Chain A
Amino acid sequence: MTEPMIQIRNLQKSYGKRKILKGIDLDIYPKETLVILGRSGCGKSTLLRHLIGLNTPDEGNIIIKGVDITTASEEERNVILKRMGMLFQNGALFNSMTVGENVALPLMEHTPQDNSIIKIMTRMKLNLVGLSGFEDFAPSQLSGGMKKRAALARAIAMDPDILFCDEPSAGLDPIVAVGIDHLILKLKSALKMTIIVVTHEMASVNLIADRICLLHDGEIKFLGTKEEMRASVDPYVVQFLERQPDEDQLDPQNYLDELVAD
């Protein structure tokens, strides 16, 4: 078995009294596509924010390529961050810059190349996501799907080893969404990256996932391949796959108590 790219050990996080992550243990291997699946509020975005170093856990460790990013110094963490790309849910393109400047920014800041080479690299990345010729457009002039593509181009600008995607198909029509999924597949085979995708769309899971990690209530409910997931008899997995609603558990007395509680 190869050494895991990312090791998550006993990751815990609370906001106030609410415990969002209740001790996550997870290994992510090189060149696999892991989909973190779960309903809204299950902690999947929080988990992702920990992985990219935006949040620090209350307890537990995240070891990426042998470096524990929860305890690493800023310099050590920056070295790891430069080898990672992140596609935000709404793209998070810098609105004050053009599409080309957005893609060029990490290259300008972190590589010693001069402008003409960066220009060519920017063009290559935009070409890869199907946006050649859009360098001089402002992000606000792009459609939702094109913004995601541009953001993806920026995320892969530094040829990262690991790509994180937060809800890549959220807010897109099904045709554009499947286009983004295919693009992720294409990038995966072209750039040989480890890809971690957070989503709740089963359609895109079926297309891109090598392994699936189903989160529920801050815990891993299921971890395995698509086939294993379909074969699972765990009631929550079945409920998720078959899109069954929660049963209403309304206790009238509790409800009354809640209403009059001070």
Chain B
Amino acid sequence: MSNLKATFGQSGRDLAMFFVHVARMTKLTGQSLFWTFAAPFKGKKLRWGATFVQMVRIGVESVPIVGVISFCVGLIIAMQAAYQLAQFGATIYVADLVSVTMCRELGPLITAILVAGRSGSAIAAEIGTMKVSEEIDALQTMALNPIGFLVVPRMLAMMVVVPCLTILADFIGITGGFVLALTNLKLSFVAYFNETAEALYAKDFITGLIKSFFFAIIISQVGAYQGFNVRGGAEGVGKSTTTSVVVSIFLVIFADLLFTMLFFSTL
């Protein structure tokens, strides 16, 4: 009986904590958006210098990995598609499949997952370490808001660079398909290019970018929230860093599902 009680008690507490986390993260996101878009009109300056540093760190430095991974993924989809389409002698439709899948789905998703692993975790670790060493407290006693000072530059940087990386991923992924088409499938460059151009609509490309913009907000907010939530020393930082990656990837895929449902039914 007491075991039963303990089990249900624990899951009840976990459930209650889940809602507490959701509420707190919503609050943090609200405050971050306020500090990004409303506070500048009240005379609080945005920290462009720090934002630029973060853009380089989150964006420029992940170009190689995003490039390589999206090339591989483009190639993989092309091969899997060709495997099926070859049965009907319709390998030219590889172009449609690769380009639409990359732009609508995999470009934004791969970029988000890579950025969550590379930079979301870095945000959590950085803010968490600052929390442990009382640097966050120090900011507050200097009348500097930690959200305005730390979270906004990172979120703003992500809002800009994640869509940019997504565009890059889209193009390189499609290039991966091209490479297979030209080498293995023996399709002509012009035919494949025309097929791609015909298959892709602006909306495919744009819905992907809309998604990636929101993924950027999710990743930066999860990272920051986990950072502020660090309890205890180095171990706490490690835990929060890991949690930030797991939670961001989960939320990114969940948001992806919602957006895809929305676009699927309306666009």
Contact = CB atoms under 8 A, between A and B. Distances in A.
Interface of A: 49, 52-54, 77-78, 81-82, 84, 86, 88-90, 92-96, 105-106, 109-110
Q: Which range holds the interface residue count of chain B?
A: 10 to 19
Nearest to B145: A74
B137 interface: yes
Interface in B96-147: 126, 129-130, 133-135, 137-138, 140-144
Contacts of B138: 86, 88, 92-94
A164 to B, nearest CB: 8
B120 to A, nearest CB: 18
Contact of B133 (A53, A84, A95): A95
Contacts of A93: 135, 138
B142 A81 contact: yes
B137 A92 contact: yes
Given A90-B134, A95-B133, A54 B141 contact: yes
Interface string B140-173: 1111100000000000000000000000000000
B135 A53 contact: no
B135 A94 contact: yes
A132 B134 CA distance: 25
Contact of A109 (B129, B133, B141, B144): B144
A81 B141 CA distance: 6
Contact of A92 (B126, B134, B143, B144): B134
Nearest to B45: A109
B137 A88 contact: yes
Contacts of A92: 133-135, 137-138
3 closest pairs, A vs B, by CB?
Answer: A92-B134, A81-B143, A78-B143
A105 B142 contact: yes
A89 B141 contact: no
Contacts of A94: 130, 135, 138
B140 A109 contact: no
B141 A53 contact: yes
Contacts of A105: 142, 144
A88 B144 CA distance: 16
A86 B141 contact: yes
B135 A95 contact: yes
Contacts of A52: 141
A93 B133 CA distance: 8
A92 B138 CA distance: 6
Interface in B7-61: none
Contacts of B141: 52-54, 81, 84, 86
13 contacts: A49-B137, A82-B142, A82-B143, A84-B141, A86-B138, A88-B137, A88-B138, A93-B135, A94-B130, A95-B135, A105-B144, A109-B144, A110-B142
A105 B197 CA distance: 52
A53 B143 CA distance: 10
A74 to B, nearest CB: 8
